[in-house]
Structure 1
Amino acid sequence: GPLGSEVVRCICEVQEENDFMIQCEECQSWQHGVCMGLLEENVPEKYTCYVCQ
């Protein structure tokens, strides 16, 4: 997929990309925005995933 070697590590444990992904500033892993309760309009400027928080 477009993320290349990037890791999808989401609370849902599904390692597939969907339409709206967000990337953690700290570990560079990707989460599904929907799973993290975010919409494209309300993504924080610096996003930290649940693992790094």
Structure 2
Amino acid sequence: MSYGNVRTTYLGRLLLVEGHRDDWPKAHIASAMGFSREWVSTRVIRYRIEVEAG
């Protein structure tokens, strides 16, 4: 599935998910990457549902 408004690359999204897996708070990930906590939550949820494709 493709998302037309994605603002990061595959590797950027992978870093975000790895930060979450390493127990970084979503607020810290969002601040470090320049995104909102809601956007980070969306990416984490999509990753859980779609794994690598998300």
TM-score bracket, normalised by the shorter chain, equals under 0.3
> Which one has the bigger strand percentage?
1
> Which one has the bigger helix percentage?
2
Query: TM-score w.r.t. structure 2 length?
Result: 0.24
Query: TM-score w.r.t. structure 1 length?
Result: 0.25
